[in-house]
Structure 1
């Protein structure tokens, strides 16, 4: 019973509705509606106010913000009619929360200030807690912290456990944002204990979500994944709002550089917040979309999203958040080379606002952007000031923040012309990021995390190029590429849950492949299974303290009569390092990276046209002409300035789009042994293995390819073994062969899953063999031949990190890999593979055996040309 109020039927019903609004919001609305009718009948304004408050709180819990605000405002009117400021103040607390959700923070502050002034005791404490949350949400963190301290003390003294739990959660989030991790964890764990004691299951799940956010910011990715996964499931089952979970997932994925998944999660957050009418949170989710675009260097999208977020924040009168969006706009404009309208004074205001807000990472990025802006305007003194401030970051913070601080110090040394200091700072930043990457067990997370080291490694390469010393350029070209492949993924092979999920995925895909069975529900099941497999595989931590791969020294490369060519990109231009006869040479190729990418795309287009037999003779002739002319242009671009290679066998280390080149079609590569490696360091490690190439041989053929069975029979006959074919070619049987054979030949449908490369697959009798299957093995064959479309092509991440079937085999220990980077015709592959294996049987090195096989098919028609052209030798090659 409320003090000073006489019991009536209407009041009893209103109080019951208010109780239900917190514990069973969906069923509280009809109770509140009945209480309101009873209050109207009795003319009881106080009861009507409580009924309207219960109605509004229930609607707010269910996500109907606009209707909730309408009922809560009615509640305030009835309270004022009843002459009770305290009753009005109690309603203004949830009204302020609803207005905040709708994106009206200053109206929310006005209402909560009225509530603070009109309430005493427990109501006053609750109002202070709500005021702290509003200040927190609009970015006034210092004021919010002070208010939380007072409110939590009052709530403890008053024994209000429910609102104490809520306030502790919010203060824990604020501590997380300010990187005060012990205090954040203490608040959240205490809140979790209170929620459990109060029987608040949804609140417990939401606290788990916030603990996941804490682990994200602290840098423990597997722990964050586990927390957020459990929270999403529990909140979904309890009917809670998932927008905040999606937002936290986007933050987590951004922290490891998984920009595509992060953008998807951020977009889901935007849609969820809009659906739940939580308009205050929409622009913050757009900033996550901005960050994902920045990681992908999609500056146009970054600019669009940041501008939209800025407009929303300005409309909501949230100055701190508007400054954060302005930072996104400025970074995109600077990257695009646009004339930015922001003045130096406005930039200083932005920096000051973000620094005082208490967001360390945002403040650092603001200093970096302001320094770049000043540099573009020849304001050297101002640029140095901001770089110095950015470099003064707390060195006890998260890895990404500390690394950015070293990047700022490197830029400052670069501007000073101090090469040694620049080099030291770049190496220090990279060391921090590489140590953090070692904590990640999953291959894809480690590969994507290289995005955070790109600016540092690029600065190191630019510094080396400025020196003009080939050896230094070689070292930094190596430091900037494929370092993650040097460490095998952490995958306990006896994980029964992962094995069961993979088996269920195979069964589902096989059912989809049946005629007339590709139903939407099966596709949905496949998508859910893939996500569960991905999330499960990411839970395993890496090996703490694992040292990063050390780039091979030029003097340690034993090339024999081979020539090594390593390509590198800097500032949009392509460079080549050639190592021939112990001499390392550096040359600028005079080619823009984008132009080379266009030539590579034309080659792939022409080969795809030729691989399909449905085109007219005229179109195929045009495709052949395009192939030949493009190959000549690309050949001149890449090798025209490298006469020293002569006719030597080649070891090629590509970069960017060059990873997808069908090298055998280039005149300088045609007919000679060519092997391709993600890095010279990996080539050196593979070449150091001196065991025999062939050893025990296993051969398998997948279904659906007319020529695969014949090819497998012919290859198996050469080595005197029986092939796995038909019903015998199951995933289990092939994986057993992969785990025991020294040489594996597999003819099957291959697919590179560009969006989820660890689900790239080879189709077998009972379904797909995916990358996740391979990563569970203790060993792989020394030599692998994948007679499959696109099996040699990889998804190229930032830093030339590779994901896909071929990358997995090489990263897991395969020394020689023969695979195709384009689709290949089925039947015409058989002669190439037979000739290749004959060469292996004679003792030829894989690269030489492939070159000889490709030469033997010359003059056998377009189909033979296309079948031979797509295949390359990856790894050691000799």
Structure 2
């Protein structure tokens, strides 16, 4: 068989680079070496072009070097030089040199044949698209796609359809975007271009992110990451799209991490064009977390880089991020009115609907701050046009603009109507999310709307209105009892593997397994997030919960000021308590003092100082929270906390000591759980986990009070406890608890064969009416934006638990038995949980410092009375 010529070898390298770029570089290198040795300059040009395409995904500088060599060796063949220039323009664009890229495209168009001109115009369209000239780009795509179809160049057609699909997505032309990406996917599969299939999956993920279908977006992006990573492709764009998706549901920490990975990937690959957009994502995540320094730094750097790249539309987008961060942080801005108008006009003309709307909202606020009411109203009128078309987030922001307009006009009815409409859209969108954490994080997008309603209510001075809007702004997720997810063998297997891995780490100290544990947790998280949500009916806030002889206190925070709404004997009152920051400082002192009191190694003087600190902080917090509320008297309390008040050990406050207190994330939820509290308790289940001093003694003593046998030792497995959870009326769990702050759905209770995690509980069809978590950290929750809660206790309540008793601060596990025994003795005698807990805490307050700490940390949640 004849050996292929150098030219044939170069042509084979070009075909390989088109189909499998990740593995084409060695083929291209061999072809270039041979062609150079044989003196075939045109073959060298083709091989160098193949080499440049092969490394473009990973080494932009190397690609530029090979493509310039391809042009140099093209000699007198303008077609070869023109084809190399098309790729060189793409590489120069990635290096952030759009002017140079455009010059190369113009030279290519002048020298290529009809087939080549089609490819060059497609590349020019992509270049215009990436620098933000969307109208020009769309017009160029409309010319290039028919030319490519006529030329029969299916590979270039596939690439161009992907690029045009992205542009259509950005302009919210979703049907056209889906058509282009679907056709491109079919072409890539037929051509055997597996890396392209992965890139198309990434862009389908971007499409579904913008359209608002989060589970579908997650599925596409997961597939993209797997395919592109397996084929050695570029993962930076996948990380960027992941960040966009996570921002769309308010998951700021994960979004910031993904955006940071994108920046790092683009910097390593020297893809300078893509670095500043990724910086903007970092800035947006930081702003969502109120990290103003990071938000301003990253947005400012992005603007500087966009300006250097002469991408005026993108530079204005960065300017918008800077303006929003400065306005939200209260730093103020000196941005001139004409400069603001330029920003708004540029972003509107660019064809980015969401960015244009946000620019108008920011410009309106700036105009009102400067007393220019006419200009502010004009911006709001334009922004409010987005209430009917587009994704849920865009329509909700349009209603926010309409609400602001009504607010400025003093129209109370129109303001509340617009705010309710926006919240309804967001709540319907959140209901489509099957994953608990995504639904909780998505509440971040409700904040400005619900705060506007609350601000209007406070301005009216009507306590009933403040109560309504305080309820609309908090814990909406827990008011919807979730439907049990379908049986999922894959999830069950992953949880079993995670459990075994965690137990190996705990028992044998195999720290090397922590990487495996983290990977399993990520797989479980990503798998669960693919689950679609179920439609739910909107939950209207309760107007007057049936309190009986109890007093309700709902704490509300707005603009750094703490307020309280009380409901006593059917009468609602409103009180302003003062600045929230000093209250938060007092709350922080309580666990510090309790921890020092519980320390066995401290001196008597240290414990005395801790006791003094505890008493003084508790008294000061009590004065701050209850002095202005004389109407509550000595009644049993229903407390609805906000922010840091979720972690208050209420029994240490003088006004609460010895008094039945129950805590609920919202009055609406409390009203709902009271309605289903049922009659006397039936079956009682008790379990004790390993490694917890005194747990076995406590479990046997508690079980004896109820005439049952505890699950202890080897019998206390995860499966056995889950069966008890699914069948008992009352469950007492004495096991090590852990709140996973970064991943609250992996908060766990340690049992004989490993941890029971939140994901285990979410698979159950029912849970006990009363749950007692008698260990450190088991009652604390992660408080998300909007007072949404995530953790073990929040999950029990979301699944249907009516009453839950657990500690909200670290407690000395060895000392909890006396409190728990006394508490269950009260239950056995027929006392309601909040009463039994208050009596037990009062009885044990004199049992030394450790007993005091153990008793103080427990709180009754739900319908404790």
TM-score bucket (shorter structure): over 0.9
1:497 aligned to 2:509? no
Q: In the alignment, what sits opposite 1:130?
A: 123
1:542 aligned to 2:533? yes
SS in 1 for 2:845: coil
SS in 2 for 1:338: coil
Q: In the alignment, what sits opposite 2:133?
A: 140
SS in 1 for 2:577: strand
Q: In the alignment, what sits opposite 1:436?
A: 429
1:169 aligned to 2:162? yes
Work out the CA distance in 1 between the residues paired with 2:311 and 2:499: 50
SS in 1 for 2:615: helix
Q: How do 1:502-651 residues align onto structure 2 when only pairs under 5 Å count? A: 502-519=495-512, 522-544=513-535, 546-554=536-544, 557-590=545-578, 592-651=579-638
Q: In the alignment, what sits opposite 1:3?
A: none
Q: Aligned-pair distance for 1:860?
A: 1.1
The answer as to whether partners of 2:662 and 2:862 remain within 8 angstroms in 1 is yes
Q: Aligned-pair distance for 1:370?
A: 0.8
Structure 2: runs of 5 or more not aligned: none
Work out the CA distance in 1 between the residues paired with 2:602 and 2:297: 41
Work out the CA distance in 2 between the residues paired with 1:339 and 1:177: 31
Q: Aligned-pair distance for 1:26?
A: 5.2
Once the two structures are superposed, residues 222-278 of structure 1 have per-residue CA deviations (whole angstroms, 9 ceiling, x without a partner) of 111111112211221222211111111111111111111111111111112222322
Q: Aligned-pair distance for 1:30?
A: 4.0
SS in 1 for 2:860: strand
The answer as to whether partners of 2:776 and 2:809 remain within 8 angstroms in 1 is yes
The answer as to whether partners of 2:677 and 2:769 remain within 8 angstroms in 1 is no
SS in 1 for 2:508: coil
1:424 aligned to 2:443? no
The answer as to whether partners of 1:99 and 1:108 remain within 8 angstroms in 2 is yes
Q: In the alignment, what sits opposite 1:765?
A: 752
Q: 1:488 to 1:117 in 2, by over 3 A?
A: farther
Q: Aligned-pair distance for 1:644?
A: 1.1
Q: In the alignment, what sits opposite 2:455?
A: 462
Once the two structures are superposed, residues 58-77 of structure 1 have per-residue CA deviations (whole angstroms, 9 ceiling, x without a partner) of 2214x111111112112222
Work out the CA distance in 2 between the residues paired with 1:862 and 1:15: 83
1:471 aligned to 2:461? no
Q: In the alignment, what sits opposite 1:72?
A: 67
Work out the CA distance in 2 between the residues paired with 1:514 and 1:523: 13
The answer as to whether partners of 2:18 and 2:155 remain within 8 angstroms in 1 is no
Structure 1: runs of 5 or more not aligned: 1-6
Q: 1:437 to 1:27 in 2, by over 3 A?
A: closer
Q: Aligned-pair distance for 1:730?
A: 0.4
Q: In the alignment, what sits opposite 1:181?
A: 174
How many pairs are equivalent?
863
The answer as to whether partners of 1:135 and 1:144 remain within 8 angstroms in 2 is yes
Question: Which residue among 111, 119, 126 is the counterpart of 1:118?
Answer: 111
1:17 aligned to 2:5? no
Question: Which residue among 241, 260, 272 is the counterpart of 1:248?
Answer: 241
The answer as to whether partners of 2:776 and 2:813 remain within 8 angstroms in 1 is no
The answer as to whether partners of 1:443 and 1:489 remain within 8 angstroms in 2 is no
Q: 1:530 to 1:783 in 2, by over 3 A?
A: same
Deviates more, 1:201-210 or 1:399-408: 201-210
Work out the CA distance in 1 between the residues paired with 2:739 and 2:465: 35
Q: In the alignment, what sits opposite 1:354?
A: 347
Work out the CA distance in 2 between the residues paired with 1:622 and 1:66: 64
SS in 2 for 1:457: helix
Work out the CA distance in 1 between the residues paired with 2:568 and 2:158: 69
SS in 2 for 1:584: strand
Q: Aligned-pair distance for 1:599?
A: 1.4
Q: 1:339 to 1:583 in 2, by over 3 A?
A: closer
Q: 1:168 to 1:181 in 2, by over 3 A?
A: same
Question: Which residue among 802, 811, 819 is the counterpart of 1:824?
Answer: 811
The answer as to whether partners of 2:387 and 2:399 remain within 8 angstroms in 1 is no
Question: Which residue among 51, 54, 65 is the counterpart of 1:55?
Answer: 51
Deviates more, 1:25-34 or 1:815-824: 25-34
Question: Which residue among 755, 768, 784 is the counterpart of 1:797?
Answer: 784
Q: In the alignment, what sits opposite 2:714?
A: 727
SS in 1 for 2:813: coil
The answer as to whether partners of 2:327 and 2:333 remain within 8 angstroms in 1 is yes
Deviates more, 1:45-54 or 1:162-171: 45-54
Q: 1:640 to 1:314 in 2, by over 3 A?
A: same
Work out the CA distance in 2 between the residues paired with 1:31 and 1:211: 31
1:808 aligned to 2:795? yes
Work out the CA distance in 1 between the residues paired with 2:417 and 2:159: 46
Q: In the alignment, what sits opposite 1:341?
A: 334
Once the two structures are superposed, residues 132-154 of structure 1 have per-residue CA deviations (whole angstroms, 9 ceiling, x without a partner) of 11111111111111111111100
Work out the CA distance in 2 between the residues paired with 1:458 and 1:258: 20
Question: Which residue among 669, 675, 682 is the counterpart of 2:656?
Answer: 669
Q: How do 1:276-425 residues align onto structure 2 when only pairs under 5 Å count? A: 276-393=269-386, 395-425=388-418
The answer as to whether partners of 2:589 and 2:617 remain within 8 angstroms in 1 is yes
Q: In the alignment, what sits opposite 1:158?
A: 151
Q: In the alignment, what sits opposite 1:46?
A: 42
Once the two structures are superposed, residues 485-510 of structure 1 have per-residue CA deviations (whole angstroms, 9 ceiling, x without a partner) of 12234443521111111111100000
Deviates more, 1:293-302 or 1:125-134: 293-302
Once the two structures are superposed, residues 53-107 of structure 1 have per-residue CA deviations (whole angstroms, 9 ceiling, x without a partner) of 222222214x11111111211222222xx22222211110110111111121221
Work out the CA distance in 1 between the residues paired with 2:497 and 2:680: 36
The answer as to whether partners of 2:494 and 2:520 remain within 8 angstroms in 1 is yes
Q: 1:853 to 1:636 in 2, by over 3 A?
A: same
The answer as to whether partners of 1:694 and 1:841 remain within 8 angstroms in 2 is no
Q: In the alignment, what sits opposite 1:4?
A: none
Once the two structures are superposed, residues 182-235 of structure 1 have per-residue CA deviations (whole angstroms, 9 ceiling, x without a partner) of 101111111111111111111112111211111111111111111111221122
Q: TM-score if structure 1 supplies the norm length?
A: 0.96
Question: Which residue among 840, 855, 864 is the counterpart of 2:842?
Answer: 855
Q: In the alignment, what sits opposite 1:271?
A: 264
Q: 1:32 to 1:227 in 2, by over 3 A?
A: closer
